[in-house]
Structure 1
C-alpha cells in the first residue's frame, strides 16, 4: 500500500431505528473516531409508529462531526450508508418530506396483506420479492396510504427509504441500493429491478421510485450544502451501501457461501450466504443479493433474543438492571447444563420455526421451588440457543452446508453464553468483538467502491479491516444437550399450540 493510500480515511454511517452511528477508519483498518446521536419513535395512535426524517439527517450530521473531531477531515475520501430497512417516506417535487416517515415497526397496514395474497399468491409474491408478505413493509404501507391518506399519496413526488433519503441529502440524487430495496417488497429480486406489476397494483409509476443501483456503486460527490453541514470537502464520494444487517455481515467478514452471521442483539438475526438465490420453501428466510458481488443472503430471525435475558433480569431482580451482566454470568456458570430441568421458550412475539405462529407466547416449563435466579437465567440462555439451533437447521434444510458461524453482539461478548451456543449447536463458533459492525461494513463498501480503490476488492478489504475472531469449540461433554434439544423441540411444539385465538389465550 502506498503512503498516499495509508493516509486515506473512510466514513461508515449506520442510520438505525433509534439512532445513528458513524465511524471513521483509515485504510489500514484503524478506527480513528466514532460518533452517535439518538432520536425518538413517535406513536401517535395504536399501531402507528413514525419518525421525523429531518432527525435522521441531523443525527447523521452530528454523529459525523463527532467522529471527525480531532482528525484531518481533508483526508476523507468516501463514505457509505448502512440503514434500517422497510421504512417509508413521502417527499414532494422539491425533495422535502411532506409527512412523517412510517417506521418498519408501524402495523397500521396489516389489513392490506390479504389483498396482496389474493392478487399474487403468497408463494409467488415471496419468490418475486424475496420476502414473505408482511404488514409492515412499503408495499402494504403504500396501499394503506392510497386508501386512507389519498391526498398525501397523490401529492408525493417520490417514495424513499431511510438510506435513500440520506443519500438524497448527501448527493441530490434519488437513488436506492438493490440490497436494501428488497425489503420494500416492490422489487423483482431476481431481475434486480422494480416490479412493474406490483407497482401497478399499488398504484404508482416507477418514476416515483428512486433509481436502483448495486451496493458499492458511486452515487456522486457531496453537494455544497451537505459538505458544509458535515464539515467535509465537496469532492468526497458517496457510495451506495445496504441494509444494516447485510453491512454488519460484511463488517464481520461473512461474505462467502457457507458463511453464517448470527447477530445477537435485542432480536437474533441469522444471515446465511449462498452462491445463488435460494427461495426458502417455508418462507421463513427472506433472500436477496448481498452487499458484496456475486453472492446472496438468506435472512431469518428469532424475534426475541437478548431482550429475553433483559426480561429475566427485571423479573429476578425486581427492577430493571439490578443484576448486571457480570452477576448474571457468574450465576449461570454455577448451574449445570440443563438448568435442573427448567425449560424456557422465547416466543414472546410468536415464532417462525418450524412453523409460523404469531399467537405463541413466552413460556417456562418445569419451574420448581428449588429453582433460583441462576437456573432461570441459564434456562433463558439455553432456550434462545435451542431456538437458534432450530432456525439454523431450518436454513440447512434448503441452503448450503454451514462452513462457518460468526457471532456479533451481546452474546458474542459473553464467555458463558458463547459457550452455551457452541455446545447446543455442537459446532465451533467464531465470536467477534466489533461494536459497530454495520458502520465498518459501510466503510468497507466506501473503500472498495470509491474511485480511489482503497482496497482492490472485498477480499482485500476483509483481510485488512476485519479483526481476528475468538474460536469457541464445543466442550467434550456437550453430548447431553442432544437429548435436551430433542425434548425441547417436543415440548415447544406442544407449547406453541396452546395459544389458539387472536388474543393468544391459553386453551
Structure 2
C-alpha cells in the first residue's frame, strides 16, 4: 500500500477505517459493527468502548494486509455520527452508555421548551430549532432523569471527539458537530452563553471549538500502544459524518449541491453566509470549511422505501433484485400511468416535520403492476427530495447540477428520473466512499499540503452526467404539484390513523 491518511468514519451502526492515498485512491478499508441499546421506549444508546474496540480491530485488520501500515499514515482524519455524546467523570471515564441521535426520550423536554418559549428563543440565539435529535435536550433529559450520572459528569463530548481524546488526550470539537447541540451560535461559530444559561447548562462541560481542518493533537504513547499507530502521528480535528461526506462529494465552495439517496434522503448546499429559514423547514449548520455553512434538508425514507418494497413483496430475494427493479421501472412510462407514491413510511422530516405522515400509493387501478409501483417509488422519493431542493432555492441558493450518491444513484433509470424531476444535471461519482475523500481533503488542508479547498477538485472524480429533458421535466413539475396536493389534502386523515397504529 502507498502512504496516505487514515480515515476513520464513526457511523451509527459501525466504524470504517480506510487507508486513502494522497492522490485519493481508496486502498483498503476495514469495518466493525456495534449495536444500539434499545430496551426501553425511545431509548437508543451505545457503549463507547465498542467504538474504540472497533477502531483497534479495524487497524489490526489493515495491518494484517501490510505490516508497514503505521509508517504509511501521514495523518489521521476522523468524522462521525452527529449529536451522539458521551458523559465523562473526573477521571475522564465514560459514565454509562452514550446517548445517540436516534434517542427519542427528550421529547418531553422539547415539548416543555415549545410551551414555555425556550424553543423559539434558542432558534433566535443559534439559528437552529431544537428537536429530540440535538444533544442539548438529551443532556437536559439526563440531568432530569439520571441525576446521579449528571452529578458525576465533568465533561460531555460528541462521539468522534471522544475518539480524538483517546488518541491525543485533547478535548476539542469542531463547528459542524457543535452545530448539532442547539446551544452553538452558527453565526459566530461559538457556544452561546445565553442559550446555555436559558436551559441551565454549564458551558464548561463542553469542549473547546477549533476549525475542522486543523491539527488538534498527536497520537500519545498510550494510544500508540493500544492502536499500533506511531506515537506523534498528527490527528485532524475533523467534522460530522454527513458534512465530511458532502465535502468529499464535491462541495468545495459556494453554489455546490449534493444529494444522498440512501436510507434517508439528504440535500446539502454550501453557502458563504449563514442562512436562516424563518419557516423552520431546513437546517443551517457550520461546514467543515472555514467561512462556509451547510444548508441541509433531510427526508426520512429515500432508498429505504424501495428496500421496504423488497422486504415486503420479495423478501426471499437478495440485493440483486434491485437491478431487476431498475429494468422493470425503465419499461414504465413517465408518471407510472397515473400512480403517485408518497414515501412517508416513517413520517417525514424536511420540509414537513410531520411524524404522523403516512406512505401512500395514490391512483391505483387494476392495470397497475409491480413495475408501476417500483417506478412510482423512484418518482415519489425524487419528489420528496425536490421538495427540499425548492426550499434551498427559495433561501437564495442557485444551482444547475447535483452530485448524487447512495443507493438511488446506482440505478440508471433512477438517475434519469432524478434529473428530470429536479430539472438539474445529475452527476455521479467514481467512489461512494465520499467520507474518506472528505477526510483526506481536511487532512491535506490541515497539514498545509494544499492551501485552498479548490486545489482538491481533482480528487472529485465524476463518471457520468445526466441532463434533464425539458419536456419530461415539465411533465414531472406538473406531477409534483399533484404529489404536494395529495399530502395537503390527506394530512389530517393521516393524523387520525395514528389512533389505529397500535391496535
Q: Normalization by structure 1: what TM-score?
A: 0.93
Q: CA deviation at 1:57?
A: 0.9
Residue 6 of structure 2: aligned partner: 11
> Any conservation in 1 of the 2:260–2:266 contact (CA below 8 Å)?
yes
Q: CA deviation at 1:84?
A: 0.5
Match of 1:367 among 364, 369, 373: 364
Q: Determine the C-alpha separation between the residues in 2 that align with 1:484 and 1:320.
A: 32
Residue 25 of structure 2: aligned partner: 30
Aligned CA distance change for structure 1 residues 495 and 502 (closer, same or farther; 3 Å): closer
Structure 1, unmatched stretches of 5+, are 1-5
Aligned CA distance change for structure 1 residues 299 and 476 (closer, same or farther; 3 Å): closer
Q: Determine the C-alpha separation between the residues in 1 that align with 2:144 and 2:481.
A: 48
Residue 307 of structure 1: aligned partner: 304
Q: Within the alignment, does 1:436 sit opposite 2:433 as a pair?
A: yes
Residue 44 of structure 2: aligned partner: 49
Q: Determine the C-alpha separation between the residues in 1 that align with 2:279 and 2:344.
A: 19
Match of 1:261 among 250, 258, 269: 258
Match of 2:466 among 445, 468, 472: 472
Higher relative contact order (CA 8 A, sep 6+): 1
Secondary structure (helix, strand or coil) at the match of 2:441 reads helix
How many correspondences in the alignment?
A: 498
Structure 2, unmatched stretches of 5+, are none
RMSD between aligned residues: 2.0
Aligned CA distance change for structure 1 residues 124 and 203 (closer, same or farther; 3 Å): closer
Match of 2:325 among 322, 325, 328: 328
> Any conservation in 1 of the 2:122–2:183 contact (CA below 8 Å)?
no
Aligned CA distance change for structure 1 residues 443 and 201 (closer, same or farther; 3 Å): same
Q: Within the alignment, does 1:217 sit opposite 2:211 as a pair?
A: no
Q: Determine the C-alpha separation between the residues in 2 that align with 1:345 and 1:243.
A: 29
Q: How does 1:203-352 map to 2 (within 5 A)?
A: 203-319=200-316, 321=318, 324-352=321-349
Secondary structure (helix, strand or coil) at the match of 1:233 reads coil
Secondary structure (helix, strand or coil) at the match of 2:35 reads coil
> Any conservation in 2 of the 1:412–1:433 contact (CA below 8 Å)?
no
> Any conservation in 2 of the 1:23–1:440 contact (CA below 8 Å)?
no
> Any conservation in 2 of the 1:260–1:271 contact (CA below 8 Å)?
yes
> Any conservation in 2 of the 1:258–1:403 contact (CA below 8 Å)?
no
Residue 167 of structure 2: aligned partner: 170
Secondary structure (helix, strand or coil) at the match of 2:5 reads strand
Summarize deviations over 1:306-327 as a string: whole Å, max 9, x none: 1100111123325464861111
> Any conservation in 2 of the 1:85–1:180 contact (CA below 8 Å)?
yes
Q: How does 1:121-136 map to 2 (within 5 A)?
A: 121-136=118-133
Q: CA deviation at 1:477?
A: 4.3
Q: How does 1:325-474 map to 2 (within 5 A)?
A: 325-352=322-349, 355-450=352-447, 453-463=448-458, 465-474=459-468
Q: Determine the C-alpha separation between the residues in 2 that align with 1:44 and 1:7.
A: 45
Secondary structure (helix, strand or coil) at the match of 1:499 reads helix
Q: Within the alignment, does 1:497 sit opposite 2:489 as a pair?
A: no
Secondary structure (helix, strand or coil) at the match of 2:252 reads coil
Aligned CA distance change for structure 1 residues 180 and 502 (closer, same or farther; 3 Å): farther
Residue 110 of structure 2: aligned partner: 113
